[in-house]
Amino acid sequence: MAKPKRNRKNRSPLRRMRRTMRRRLLSGLLVVVPVGITFFTLHFLYKVTAGFLAPVVEKYLGHIPDYAISPVAVILFLAALYCIGLVASVLVGRRVIALGETIIHRIPFVKTIYGGSKQVAETLLAQERFAGFKSVVLVQYPHPGMRALGFMTGTIATSEGDEYCKVFIPTTPNPTSGYLEFVPPEHVQRCHLSVEDAAKLLMSGGILAPESLTLSSLDAPLPDLDTDSDDADPLLDGD
């Protein structure tokens, strides 16, 4: 014998109150947790970077107010970073850094920590490097029938008069490395994703991916990437 359906109107006020409280608590957690993690991360980064300069500032600039010590330490740290980057951009600086990395890679355990932290830093800064890419494309790689996400950097012509698209195909989850492929234009499809969204997709290993991708030929006009992704066509909807 079938059980009678429960009438929602007959639910007790206590049960409705519990459901409401649970929804409100979850909504609050969705707001508080990201804010808390962001604050903790920024506080940790300050402690391991500019925080080391705070005692120096307090010692040699003791006449400044206490609330100004942290901002001054941050400014000094940014200035030091700029100077280090300036040195690293010249030939002598690159050779010195390469020599230092060679020594580090010879030290057991230390080379593991240094290599892992450098890879994480390069991955976090990879999104800034993608700013120079023109558009996101899909190509058949590594063999026909499979597709890989890539960034088109331009075109190049051969002496025979053929034109190829220059496509950088990054690796996952570290998109700072990859492969440069010269692909015929007819084998390249524009993917209607922003460079930033494509970078998030790559660095997350496909976790932060849209439900569908809209593809078009290279001759089609660039899409408005600010439109709602819910109207996107299925993955294999091409030209």
Each residue's pLDDT tens digit, 71-120? 888 898 899 888 888 887 787 777 888 888 888 888 888 888 887 777 66
Please report which helix (H) or strand (E) contains residue 168, including its range: strand 163-170
**Per-residue tokens: 75:** 């400014």
Model confidence band, residue 132 (pLDDT cutoffs 50, 70, 90): low
**What average pLDDT does the segment 15-41 reach?**
87
**What average pLDDT does the segment 12-16 reach?**
83
Per-state percent for the chain, helix, strand, coil, to nearest 5: 50, 15, 30
**Against a cut of 0.75, is the pTM above it?**
no
Domain limits of the chain?
19-47, 130-220
Q: At what angle do helices 91-104 and 69-88 cross, to 10 degrees?
A: 100
Sign of CA dihedral 226, 232, 236, 239: negative
Q: Does the structure show a pLDDT above 60 at 221?
A: no
Closest CA to 80 of 90, 72, 69, 68: 72
Q: Are 191 and 236 in contact (CB under 8 A)?
A: no
DSSP single-letter state for residue 68: G
pLDDT at 182: 92
